[in-house]
Amino acid sequence: MPKFVNFTHHANSLPATVPFVGPETPERATGTIFKARLGANENGFGFAPSVAKVLQDEAHLSWRYGDPESFDLKTKIAEVHNIGFENIAIGSGIDSLFGLIIRMIVEKGTDVVTSLGAYPTFNFHVVGFGGQIHAVPFQNDFEDLEGLLAKVHETNARLVYLSNPDNPMGTMWAKDKIIDFINRLPETTLLILDEAYCELAEQGSILDADMLLDRPNVVRMRTFSKAYGMAGLRIGYAIGSAETIAMFDRVRNHFGMNRLSQKAAVAAISDQAWLQDVVQQIEHARQRISQIAIENGFSPIKSATNFVTFDCGRDGDYARKVLAGLTAEGIFVRMPGIAPLDRCVRVSVAPDDELDLLAEALPRVIKSLAD
């Protein structure tokens, strides 16, 4: 038996970690199931009944590979968004699409710009391919557009990441600000514009999908995980110019999308009436979470996503104690990991019965910290 495997120097240098620890990990460690699952940015209202029917009707055919072209799904997305079939790439969630596009752009030492405290899976892929991350701090709980642009020009970065609406704070920039940002980017810098929460933003505040298709250096990411409530089925898509989208075919796993997910996503995007209904439920839940925060002396940040981040009013140590207290109460929540954002706790939307548990537990946690 060989005594070692010749892993690359780069692979050996990477930390043995993942971007997130799921709620299942502490559940296994404690032997206790969370009473309220409010930390994973999932849509607690689930998917449409029409999706459930398709899953039931098609499950017995899961012995078949999925269509490697995702033809029906791409056709339906193109129809709904009034864009070309050639402007769409399909992947198993935005996380997977990150990996593909970063593989296209990033080599050892490639300069990449992002926000300090932004979605960590992006960084996970960049570091995995040997890229050099330059992180720009948030300003007043918003991603700093001017700071990102300045860092791009300073480093001559080949890639920049911007989430709008943002995770983990839930804030967003108006579309005219995003267009101005794009107009000022060097043509040699590719922008990944992550729009995972776009369906949940105020109507008319997000760029239409058929815009920017003439910009080879802009790729926009969207998902079925959030508003459509299908996080466990892993379906995301990229929108961009035909020439840039064509590059995905050179690096993707052509059988990476399973058949059942493709069928479910077609049903989901076809059911826009359900989408509008669930958006209203999410808005109600955001208001409820905000009210719970206010009642307990915390300050909610206006959200355009399926979560609400609230400021605990002190430092990260105090916010971590709040999080730990809620965890002990059986309430799974998360928090930003980078100061000063870590003064906050982030709560995902859910039906009222789960938010009732949060409303009951939070005052007990605060009282225990004051004793």
CB 183 within 8 A of CB 175: no
CA distance 57 to 332: 33
Does the pLDDT at position 146 exceed 70? yes
pLDDT of residue 136: 98
151 contact partners, CB below 8 Å, separation of at least 6: 113, 134, 136, 157
Q: Look at residue 1 in the predicted model and tell me its pLDDT.
A: 44
Which pLDDT score, from 0 to 100, does residue 17 have?
Answer: 73
The C-alpha atoms of residue 264 and residue 31 are separated, in whole angstroms, by: 33
As a whole number, mean pLDDT of residues 251-265 equals 96
pLDDT digits (tens, 9 = 90+) for 10-42: 888 888 777 788 899 999 999 999 999 999 999
- In one letter, which amino acid is 122? F
Tokens read off for 215:
């910009």
Question: What's the rounded Cα separation, in Å, for the pair 185 and 166?
Answer: 20
- pLDDT bracket for residue 315 (50, 70, 90): very high
CA dihedral 247, 253, 255, 261 (to 10 degrees): -80
Q: What is the pLDDT of residue 16?
A: 79
Give long-range contacts, CB 8 A cutoff, 24+ apart: 6-15: 10/108, 10/130, 14/127, 14/128
Q: How large is the average pLDDT for residues 226-235? A: 97
Tokens describing residue 107: 């080599």
Average pLDDT, the chain: 96
Average pLDDT of the segment spanning 185-191: 97
- In the three-class reduction of DSSP (H, G, I as helix; E, B as strand; rest coil), residue 44 is classed as coil
pLDDT at 108: 94
What is the distance between the alpha carbons of residues 93 and 70, in angstroms, rounded to a whole number? 14
Q: What's the whole-number mean pLDDT along residues 211-236?
A: 97
pTM over 0.75: yes
Is the per-residue pLDDT at 2 higher than 70?
no
Cβ-Cβ contacts under 8 Å for 46 (sequence gap 6 or more): 229
Tens digit of each residue's pLDDT (9 = 90 or more) over 318-368: 999 999 999 999 999 999 999 999 999 999 999 999 999 999 999 999 999
Q: How far is CA 92 from the centre of its chain?
A: 13
- Residue 292 gets which letter from DSSP? H
Q: How far is CA 37 from CA 24, 292, 326, 332, 366, in A?
A: 10, 16, 11, 5, 20
Tokens of 296: 């307990």
CA 199 vs CA 91, 181, 276, 304, 365: distances in Å:
19, 21, 9, 9, 33
Q: What is the pLDDT of residue 127?
A: 95
From the list 152, 225, 154, 220, the residue with the least C-alpha distance to 189 is 152
Tell me the per-residue pLDDT of 41-78, one tens digit each, with 9 for 90 and over. 999 999 999 999 999 999 999 999 999 999 999 999 99
